[in-house]
Amino acid sequence: MSNIEAPDVRDEGYDDWLDAVDAGEGFYLECENGHGSLPPRRVCPRCGATDLEETPLPDAGEIETFTEIAVAPPSFVEDTPYVTAVADFGPVRLTGLVRRADGADLDGEDVAVGMAVSAAVGESETTGERALVLEPR
C-alpha cells in the first residue's frame, strides 16, 4: 500500500491483498477511529480518514448471509452450483465463495448463518481466476 497516487489500480491492490490472504497473512485496513475496510480502498469509507493501517485479519469470521448460485455469470458457469456468502470478520465483512478446505462439494444445505469460516484463496473452475474463498472451519 505504498503508491497513494494511483487510485485506479484497483485490481492490483486487490491482487496484492489476495496474495496476502493466500500466504496466511490476510489483513484489513484500519483507520484511526477503528473502522475497518479492505484494499484497494485508500480512504476510510465511514469517516474519510486517509491514514489507513494494515491490521491482521481475524482468523475466523461468521457467515451473515449466503446464496446458492445455480445460474452463474459466464466466468463461473462451470463452478455451478456454488455458494457465495458474506462473512462478518469483526471490523470488516468479506464476500467470497464458500468451499470446503478439502475441495469436497458443498451446497446451500451445508451452509448456515453463523457458521465459522476462514478466509482463503481459490480459483474459478471456469476461468482459473483467483477468488476469495470462505472455508468452513
Least separation, in Å, of the C-beta of 46 and Zn ion?
Answer: 5
Cβ proximity to Zn ion: between 3 and 33 the closer is 33
Q: Which residues contact 129 (CB under 8 A, 6 or more apart)?
A: 75, 123
Q: Does 99 bind Zn ion (CB under 5 A)?
A: no
Q: For residue 74, which phi and psi values (nearest 5 degrees)? A: -55, -35
Cβ proximity to Zn ion: between 49 and 86 the closer is 49
Question: Can you tell me which residue has the cell 448463518?
Answer: 113
Within 58-130, residue ranges assigned H as helices are none
Q: Does 45 bind Zn ion (CB under 5 A)?
A: no
Least separation, in Å, of the C-beta of 6 and Zn ion?
Answer: 22
Q: Does 33 bind Zn ion (CB under 5 A)?
A: yes
Cβ proximity to Zn ion: between 35 and 99 the closer is 35
Q: Does 106 bind Zn ion (CB under 5 A)?
A: no
From the CA atom positions of the chain, what is the Rg in Å? 15
Q: Does 43 bind Zn ion (CB under 5 A)?
A: no
**What are the beta bridge partners of residue 123?**
130
Cβ proximity to Zn ion: between 17 and 28 the closer is 28
What are 71's three cell numbers? 445460474
What are 3's three cell numbers? 503508491
